[in-house]
Chain A
Amino acid sequence: MGTKRVRFVAIALAILSVAAMLIPNVLGVYYLHVVNVALVNVILAVGLNFILGFGGQISLAQAAFFGLGAYGYSILALRGVPLPVAAVAGVLLAGGAGLALGWPALKLKGHYLALATLGFGIIMQQLMINLGGLTGGANGLSAIPRFGLGPLTLDSEPHIFYLELIFAALVVALSVLFDRSPLGMRARALRDDETAAEVSGVNIRNIKVMLFVISATCGGLAGVLYSTMLGYISPDVFAWSTTFNYLVMVVIGGLGSTGGVVTMAFLLTLIPEWLRFLKDSYMAVFGLVVIVMMAAAPGGLAGLARAATAHRTRQRFPLSRKGAGKFELGKPREGKVG
């Protein structure tokens, strides 16, 4: 990193933190709440991007980790456990579940892994509904204590905003740093060709489990923040089918592109608010748009941006290889042999 770059990053950070100071004053309470929901989605989607975008492993269990964090925190907090302990326990519960799922799932790939994580998501969903004494059943839990430290209780939207902003920024920073680290390079090697990565000395087992645990921990963190933000939770928020939303954020944002995923997480939280007039037809339109997007631009936003810069580069330097032959997740499909 040159000094120029350091200065650029420092200025950008300064501008951003001033902006962050001003946001709660500029936005009304309603939009501030929408932004808070968006920040939870950022943590979920950027977390999912670790396993899906960097590691190339298909996981449909993000909603389950989200739920584990939320229920872990809420159940403990409602029973009078000190709030910081409850919060840490919620995050660890999700991370531990990620470890428990990631270890046996090492043997699975592609659609098999998708189905195994799907099964895990359904089991968690069923447990949330059926363990009524612990989880409040289909009604969920309410009057969950807001997170606080000592005398400070974070119970207003601006407080929650700063709390979430800090954690979202940490997760995004982790993602950006990981992307550039040698570890991130190894993860990308694993994604692009597992066998080649393994013979080049990458410990693919450790990396896969690590990515699983990071994704699950982010999910748990989002769950803790979500339950302290709203004060009530119900199992339908953590149903396996909601994983689809986070999947779309990552895939349409662009696999492995932190900026694209953050953008999509914000867009997919804001767009439903702007399209209120569509009412019940919103989800149908959403499904249709996703199908069209997948057919038209399988690389997502980041893919489109890459294609645009590559096009410009080619116009200026017709012989340049830059931007040509970028990775894509998974090999082209083929019919199953045998």
Chain B
Amino acid sequence: MLIQLGFSGLAMGAIYGLVALGFTLIWNAVGIVNFAQGELVMLAAFVSVASLSQALHLPWAVNLVLTVVFMAVFGLFMARGIYHPLRNAPQLGAIVATLGLSIFLKNSAVLVWGPDPLIDSGPFGNATVSLGPAKIYGQHVLILVTMVVLMVLQVAMFRGTAIGKAMRATAQDREVARLMGINTDRVIALIFAYACMLAGVAGVLVAPVFYVSADMGGMVALKAFASSIVGGFGHVPGAVIGGLILGLMDAFGSYFLSSQYIDVISFGLLIAFLIFRPQGLFGEPEMERP
């Protein structure tokens, strides 16, 4: 039972982590909290399930690739159409705009795909893997494996490739990066595209676990916010680890404590962290900037 709970917690945690990672990257690059990150997951899940899987019956791998490509294009559009005009606007303007985007996506999804939730069986259906006495869902294993592969690829990209280094430089100090000859506008567009791709992977992976509905993004995004605060806001590995912690807490908390109040506990934790340890578990204390 414990192993089973642990696995489902880690799988959900991996999803939270992917989403948290997406907006951590955007936050580091441009200083905006993207409140629409959860709706990006929802968008990807609808594209994958409604348009690609149920309408076209594409195999799962093709489906994943196409969804991720779609999300990358959407990310480029987001950078051009929403971030770019707002780049010099005050903070609050950006918050309102991303909240506006989340409302727009949520309600457009209802218009396009209808109000009824969709059910997707995923590549494995209800197949389980036996691990000793515990039965683990194939989908959970798939989520965890994808997560590990993605993290390895990401580290390789950030450390090894020129574009990864340009992304890190831009996140560290945009002005200096620009002076060093990096086309920061293009790099920022790529970061948005990558963050949307992460949301796309999360959407495809989570679709068989949840019902696919216009509201599915909300709670995932809120849990991802909590994850990134627990891990240390703006801390890249912290976002993933925070996600795993939140996922495990969800699984064990709703089993042993109370499934009704688990969200209250999660967000109580978020507030407690913000007040007593705003740098999270892994971040460094932030110096006041003038």
Contacts and interface: CB of A to CB of B under 8 A. Distances in A.
Interface of A: 52, 58, 104-105, 107-108, 110-112, 114-116, 118-120, 122-123, 126-127, 130, 195, 241, 244, 247-248, 251, 255, 280-281, 283-284, 286-288, 290-291, 294-296, 298, 328-338
- Of A119, A247, A298, most buried by chain B (CB within 10 Å of CB) is A119
Contact of A195 (B111, B271, B278, B290): B290
B53 to A, nearest CB: 24
B33 A114 contact: yes
Contact of B275 (A116, A123, A126, A247): A116
A58 B103 contact: no
Nearest to A328: B90
Secondary structure of the B side of the interface? helix
Contact of A291 (B28, B82, B92, B174): B82
Contact of B104 (A110, A284, A298, A331): A284
Contacts of B96: 244, 247-248, 251, 290, 294
Interface in B25-69: 27-33
A160 to B, nearest CB: 29
Contacts of A126: 261, 263-264, 267
11 contacts: A58-B91, A58-B92, A119-B226, A126-B263, A130-B260, A241-B218, A247-B95, A283-B103, A287-B102, A329-B90, A333-B91
Given A116-B270, A116-B274, A283 B225 contact: no
Contacts of A108: 274-275, 278
Contacts of B174: 334-335
A330 B100 contact: no
Given A115-B225, A336-B31, A294 B86 contact: yes
B92 A123 contact: no
A227 B144 CA distance: 47
Given A126-B261, A336-B171, 10 more contacts: A115-B270, A119-B267, A126-B267, A244-B96, A248-B100, A290-B97, A291-B97, A294-B86, A298-B86, A335-B31
Contact of B107 (A127, A248, A284): A284
Given A58-B92, A126-B261, A115 B274 contact: yes
A116 B94 contact: no
B189 interface: no
A335 B28 contact: yes
A333 B31 contact: yes
A115 B33 CA distance: 9
Contacts of A123: 263-264, 267-268, 271
B229 interface: yes
B172 interface: yes
Contacts of A336: 27-28, 31, 171, 234
A295 B222 CA distance: 25
Nearest to A290: B100
Interface residues of B, number: 59
A118 B275 contact: no
Contacts of B31: 333-336
A103 to B, nearest CB: 10
B152 interface: no
Contact of A281 (B32, B107, B171, B264): B107
A338 B101 contact: no
Contact of B89 (A115, A127, A241, A298): A298
Nearest to B271: A119
Contact of A335 (B88, B110, B171, B284): B171
List 6 tightest A-B contacts by C-beta distance, closest first: A287-B104, A290-B100, A287-B103, A295-B85, A284-B107, A283-B107
Nearest to A125: B263
Contacts of A284: 103-104, 107-108, 111
Contacts of A115: 33, 225, 229, 270, 274
Contacts of B86: 294-295, 298
A280 B111 CA distance: 7
A291 B80 CA distance: 13
Contacts of B101: 287, 291
Contacts of A298: 86, 89-90, 93
A336 B26 CA distance: 10
A284 B112 CA distance: 11
A107 B278 contact: yes
B8 interface: no
Contacts of A104: 271, 275
Interface string B171-210: 1111000000000000000000000000000000000000
Contacts of B249: none
Contacts of B29: 335
Contacts of B267: 119-120, 122-123, 126
Contact of A337 (B100, B218, B268, B289): B289
B170 interface: yes
Of B29, B96, B171, which is in contact with the most chain A CB atoms at under 10 Å from its CB? B96
A295 B82 contact: yes
A118 B232 CA distance: 17
A338 B275 contact: no
> Among the interface residues A283, A284, A328, which one has the most CB atoms of the partner chain B within 10 A?
A284
A247 B92 CA distance: 9
